[in-house]
Structure 1
C-alpha cells in the first residue's frame, strides 16, 4: 500500500510545482498532453491545485461530469486541464482544487491599461524597456536550445531567465495595473494556494501545483518560506517516465 496515503497529523505534505506551457502542449513534440498524463500518473498526487478560478470550477466540473468534456470558457484555454487533469480524475484518486486569482474584469482592465500605456507617447521609454526585457528573455530561452524542454522548465535557470522580462514588467507596471499586475496577480493566486495548504496541513499528502511555467519561480520563493511542507524536485518524476 502506498505509504503516502497513511496520513499522520504531524507528517509534512509533499509539494511539487509543475510548470505548464498551456497551448504549447498541443503543438510541442515532447511536452505534450500525453507526456503530462504520464507525468501526473508518476507523481500520483492526492490534490492538484489548478490555475482555474474558484468561481469557474463548478461549471467546468459539472459540465465534465455531464458531457465528458469542458465547455467553461476560461478552463477551456488550458489543455493541461481539458485533456489531462479532468480526464485523469476519472481513474485516479485525487481532488482538483481551483486556486487562480484571475477574474475577467481584472483581465479586461489590465488589457485596457496596457494598450493605453503602449499608445502614450510620454511612456515610450517604459514601453521600450519592457519590450527589450521580453526580447532578452526570449533570446536567452532560445539560446539555451531547450525550448519547452520539461527538464529545463523545472530548473532555477529557467526561472531566472523568465524573471528578466517579468521583473521589468512588474517594476514598471505592477502598481498601475492594479489587480492585474504581475506581483498582484501572483499574490492573488498564492493566497488561494495557501488556503489549500493550510486546510490540508500535516496530512502526509502529496500536493501538485499546476500553473503556467512563468509563475513557478514566484511560487517556489514563497513555498520555500514554509516549514510545514517538503518541496520535491520534479526531475525524479520526469526520469521515471523516460
Structure 2
C-alpha cells in the first residue's frame, strides 16, 4: 500500500511540475508576444470648439502625452483618402464628413506633421444609412401609434441629460473617461436601442456600434501582439459600448485615461 501511495505522489508531483512548466511557458510566450496597449478617448465633436476646458488644444496635448502608434478614428474608410489628400495639399481638411470633427481637423491631422503615428479610419457610418435613420426617426415621431415609444425615448434622454448636468461635470474630460459617465449615457441609449435598433436597420444604435467595432477589431487583429499603443477616438457616447467589447479580449492591455489627464494639468 505504501509503495502504491508513493507512486501516486510521484505521479501527482510530476503532473504538477509539467503543469507549472506549461504555465511558465505560456506566460513567457505571452510576454514575448507583447500585448498592445489600448485607450479609448471620448470626444465631444463640436463641443471641442466651445468648451472652456476640453478644447482641441487640450485634445492635442493629450494625444502628445499618450504618444500612440496608431489612432483609430471615427472616419469611414472610404472617405479617409480624400481627407488625407486634401490635408497634404492644402494643409486643411475639405472632406465634408471629416470636417464635422474638429478633433481631427485641428488636432489629429496636424499632429501627423510632428508625431509618428498612423491614422486608421474605422467608422461604419455611411451617408445613405444616416439619411435612412433620420427619415425613420421622423416617421416614428409623427406616428400616433408610436406615441408611447417616442415618449419613452424622450424620457430617457431627459433623465440622462438631467443626471449629467446635476454632476456639475459636463464636458469634464476626467468625468467623460469614467464608468459613471457611461452609465449615465446608457439611461438614454438603452431605451433608444431597445425601441428602435431593429427598425432603424444599419443606423440603429447597436447596429452602428457593431459596424464601427468590426473595423476596430480588424485593426486590432492586424496589429496583434506588436507591443504598440493604440488610441481609439470616437464620440463619448460610444465609449461604454466599445469598452464592454474590449474588456473581453485577452490580447490587449486596456489603459486608464486618468494618468495621461493628470500629466497635462
Equivalent in the alignment of 2:186: 163
CA distance in 1, matches of 2:63, 2:231: 9
Select which of 186, 192, 199 maps to 2:209. 186
Cα distance in 1 between the residues matched to 2:187 and 2:74: 23
Higher helix share: 2
Q: Deviations over 1:14-66 (max 9, x none)?
A: 00000000000000000000000000000000000000000000000000000
Q: Is the 8 A contact 1:9 1:203 kept in 2?
A: no
Aligned to 1:15: 38
1:216 aligns with 2:239: yes
Q: Which residue of 2 aligns with 1:60?
A: 83
1:46 aligns with 2:69: yes
1:108 Cα offset (Å): 0.3
What is residue 107 of structure 2 aligned with on the other side? 84
Q: How does 1:1-242 map to 2 (within 5 A)?
A: 10-242=33-265
How far residue 9 of structure 1 moved from its aligned partner, in angstroms, is 6.1
Q: Larger C-alpha radius of gyration, 1 or 2?
A: 2
**Whole-Å separation in 1 of the counterparts to 2:138 and 2:32:** 50
Where in structure 1 are there 5+ consecutive unaligned residues? Answer: 1-7
Superposition CA RMSD, Å? 0.7
Contact in 2 for aligned 1:16/1:233 (Cα 8 Å): yes
Q: What's the counterpart of residue 8 of structure 2?
A: none
What are the Cα deviations for residues 168-207 of structure 1, in whole angstroms up to 9, with x where unaligned? 0000000000000000000000000000000000000000
Instruction: State the Cα deviation string for residues 186-242 of structure 1 (Å, max 9, x = none).
Output: 000000000000000000000000000000000000000000000000000000000
TM-score by length of 1: 0.96
TM-score normalised according to structure 2 size: 0.88
Distance in 1 between the 2:65 and 2:190 partners? 33
Which stretches of structure 1, 4 residues or more, deviate above 6 A after TM superposition?
none
Match of 2:15 in 1: none
- Which ranges of structure 2 fall in alignment gaps of 5 or more residues? 1-30
Q: Alignment partner of 2:95: what SS? A: coil
In 2, Cα distance between equivalents of 1:180 and 1:90? 35
Higher relative contact order (CA 8 A, sep 6+): 1
SS at match of 1:176: coil
- Which residue in 2 is equivalent to 1:5? none
